[in-house]
C-alpha cells in the first residue's frame, strides 16, 4: 500500500468528524500502526493499529492497551523465560531514553523515526516472535508509543516500569493484570 492509501485505510469516524492519522507505518505484511491527536492532554497521542487476520482480511482499527502487550509477554515468558527477561531489560533501557511530547513534537512525530530499530536488538530477540501474538518489531514500536503516551499524559506515572518489574519478578498473574488494567495512572 502507498502512504496515501495507508492514511486513508487508517482513518476513522469519531462522532461527525473523520480522524486522519498524524503518522502511519506498515510494520510488515501483518501490521499497520498509526497515531492520532488524542484528548487526554494537549500533546496526547491515540495509538491504533490493524492486523491481518487468518482469513487474509484486515481487522477493524484497534486501540492497544497495556493488557495486550502484557498477555503477549506472558506467552513469550512461558516459552523463553530468560530471553524474554532480557527483552524486558531492553524495554526498560528504551524507557530511559524516551521523552514526553509537547504539541509541536507530537504533530511532527513520524513513526518511521521510532520504527528504526537496531538490527542487533531485532536479531537478538527474533526467537521471541515465534511465540505470542506480536512479532518483536511490532512489540518494540507499540511499547515505545505506550511509553511516550504515559510520559506525556502522566509525567509521574510508573505503570510501564511497574509492569516490567512484576513480569521479571514472576509475580502472580492477578497482580500483573491488576496493574495492566488500571484506569488511572499514579
- C-beta of residue 98 within 8 angstroms of C-beta of residue 146: no
pLDDT band, very low/low/confident/very high, at 186 (cuts 50, 70, 90) = very low
pLDDT band, very low/low/confident/very high, at 129 (cuts 50, 70, 90) = very high
What per-residue confidence (pLDDT) applies to 183? 52
The average confidence (pLDDT) of the chain is 92
pLDDT band, very low/low/confident/very high, at 52 (cuts 50, 70, 90) = very high
Least confident of 50-54, 113-117, 122-126, 180-184: 180-184
What per-residue confidence (pLDDT) applies to 50? 97
Mean pLDDT for 100-113 is 94
pTM: 0.91
pLDDT band, very low/low/confident/very high, at 114 (cuts 50, 70, 90) = confident
What per-residue confidence (pLDDT) applies to 92? 94
What per-residue confidence (pLDDT) applies to 173? 87
Q: What share of the chain in percent tops pLDDT 70?
A: 97
What per-residue confidence (pLDDT) applies to 185? 43
Round to whole Å and give the CA distance between 57 and 85.
Answer: 33
pLDDT band, very low/low/confident/very high, at 90 (cuts 50, 70, 90) = very high
State the burial class of residue 130 (Cβ atoms within 10 Å of its Cβ: 0-12, 13-18, 19+): exposed
What residues contact residue 25 under an 8 Å CB cut-off, 6+ apart?
A: 6, 32, 33, 34, 111, 112, 115, 141
Round to whole Å and give the CA distance between 117 and 120.
Answer: 8
pLDDT band, very low/low/confident/very high, at 118 (cuts 50, 70, 90) = confident
- C-beta of residue 94 within 8 angstroms of C-beta of residue 140: yes
pLDDT, greater one: 104 or 158: 104
Q: Is residue 116's pLDDT more than 80?
A: no
Amino acid at each position: 500500500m502507498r502512504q496515501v492509501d495507508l492514511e486513508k485505510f487508517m482513518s476513522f469516524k469519531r462522532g461527525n468528524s473523520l480522524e486522519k492519522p498524524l503518522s502511519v507505518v506498515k510494520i510488515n505484511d501483518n501490521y499497520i500502526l498509526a497515531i492520532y491527536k488524542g484528548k487526554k492532554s494537549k500533546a496526547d497521542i491515540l495509538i491504533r493499529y490493524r492486523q491481518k487476520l487468518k482469513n487474509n482480511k484486515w481487522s477493524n482499527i484497534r486501540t492497544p492497551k497495556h493488557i495486550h502487550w502484557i498477555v503477549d509477554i506472558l506467552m513469550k515468558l512461558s516459552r523463553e523465560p530468560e530471553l524474554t527477561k532480557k527483552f524486558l531489560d531492553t524495554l526498560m533501557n528504551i524507557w530511559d531514553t524516551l521523552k514526553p511530547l509537547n504539541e509541536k513534537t507530537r504533530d511532527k512525530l513520524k513513526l518511521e523515526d521510532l520504527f528504526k530499530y537496531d538490527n542487533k536488538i531485532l536479531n537478538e530477540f527474533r526467537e521471541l516472535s515465534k511465540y505470542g501474538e506480536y512479532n518483536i518489531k511490532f512489540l518494540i514500536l507499540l511499547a515505545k508509543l505506550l511509553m511516550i503516551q504515559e510520559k506525556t499524559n502522566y509525567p509521574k506515572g510508573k505503570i510501564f516500569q511497574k509492569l516490567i518489574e512484576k513480569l521479571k519478578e514472576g509475580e502472580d498473574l492477578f497482580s500483573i493484570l491488576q496493574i495492566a488494567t488500571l484506569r488511572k495512572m499514579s
